[in-house]
Chain A
């Protein structure tokens, strides 16, 4: 079953035609990586999936319904984007994690400590000032913050950029473990093809705003991919 069905997605930003007609399906429960050179439209495309960026033309169906007809807030709580910058909101780590659930009025609440552990941090981090964390810790808090909303889809924009190289694989395992245990669908943007081959079920290769190939990770040939 497809979670997303994207057809003919086009987007122009200023004079730049960033997306030039993307056709792509995202299957339920899979980890799909989007790879491609800088400027190929990966991050823009990722933001069209939760409607942070509106398409100029084309369509995106989420579980069979057009996202245009959905409440954007409801869509974003279900399809959560983890941005590359891992921006921390003012306050403690716990306040950051509970930001989304509190806005959503999730009455049964969310255990910030549990989400932190799932994201590979100790529950003791809850009381820390979020702005004083290291880059890697911020990335993990961003992940915990997204998980706290109990989404169906995670959109990850370069989730390991800025993480200590020795800890990249650990971070990958943490993400995959959380995704598998919750049955999440993951769309993972990365410029690192070996990483895409490690973490993905399928890989979509973007060039100049178009998907030029989609292959199972095992069949993807990374020579000449860019």
Chain B
């Protein structure tokens, strides 16, 4: 297993392990400083690093096998389903106050992400090859998950702080849709702000994942930038669709069938 075409990096994976070890020294130093300064993040940081690394190597192993596997399109479906279910579960945990939140998050991420991936596939931006499908799906579903969590969290907070307003509107004969309209709009907008800020600073403060990967793999920078913009546009659309579906589905959880504010709020 060497470097070259697959990694685009000028060293073998064994050499890479040595480099990884060296960077870990810096990490250990940073942790030592945090313990000395009593910042209180050493344990969480270390666990997160170990967990993240194990997950990443596990995924890398699967991807390596997948890229070599002739019938890759069978297991890829399983991976996509796993991404959606995991995204729905993680996002639902963020909105844990809402009973059955996964019934909101999972379909939102599924629909928002799938629409975007279909467009990428139809337009040819995502060729039917695992090297494209898996990372792009990861980006799209991952972003949809984050936006879904942000939108739901904000919406629940709006309901908690504006309960008297909502009650007033319902008392004046508003339906749940009418009563929550403004709060839903604010939640969608707030959830999209990080994406919009990223778009504004694209290429100045940071070079995003897809472009960085392409550059490392030796792609022409102009082509890499063009591809990144396509990906970013799709991610933004996916996020917007996901958040709109999430606030729409959340209505059924925030209100009862008799148009009352749900008791869990």
Contacts and interface: CB of A to CB of B under 8 A. Distances in A.
Interface of A: 13, 50-54, 72-74, 76-77, 80-83, 85, 87, 89-90, 99-100, 103-104, 145-146, 149
A53 B260 contact: yes
Interface bin, chain B: 10 to 19
B173 interface: yes
B173 A52 contact: no
A206 B165 CA distance: 27
Contacts of B168: 83, 85, 87, 89
A92 to B, nearest CB: 16
Given A76-B172, A103-B173, A83 B167 contact: yes
Interface in B225-264: 256, 258-261, 263
B173 A77 contact: yes
Contacts of B260: 51-54, 72
A17 to B, nearest CB: 14
Nearest to B178: A103
Interface in B167-221: 167-175, 178, 182
Contacts of B61: none
B165 A52 contact: no
B165 A89 contact: yes
A18 to B, nearest CB: 12
Q: Which of B171, B174, B175, B258 has the largest count of A CB atoms less than 10 A from its CB?
A: B171
B164 A83 contact: yes
A89 B169 CA distance: 8
Query: Closest 6 interchain pairs by CB?
Result: A100-B172, A77-B173, A81-B171, A72-B259, A87-B168, A87-B164
Given A85-B164, A87-B165, A89-B165, A52 B263 contact: no
Interface of B: 164-165, 167-175, 178, 182, 256, 258-261, 263
A82 B172 CA distance: 9
Nearest to B171: A81
Nearest to A72: B259
B42 to A, nearest CB: 39
Contact of B171 (A13, A83, A90, A104): A83
29 contacts: A51-B258, A52-B167, A52-B170, A52-B260, A53-B260, A54-B258, A72-B258, A72-B259, A74-B173, A76-B170, A77-B173, A80-B171, A80-B172, A82-B171, A83-B167, A83-B168, A85-B164, A85-B168, A87-B164, A87-B168, A89-B165, A89-B168, A89-B169, A90-B182, A100-B172, A100-B173, A103-B173, A103-B174, A103-B178
A53 B259 CA distance: 9
Nearest to A50: B171
Contact of A73 (B165, B182, B259, B263): B259
Nearest to B168: A87
A158 to B, nearest CB: 13
A52 to B, nearest CB: 6
Contacts of A51: 258-260
B263 A13 contact: yes
A145 B168 CA distance: 10
B178 to A, nearest CB: 6
A51 B256 CA distance: 11
Contacts of A53: 260
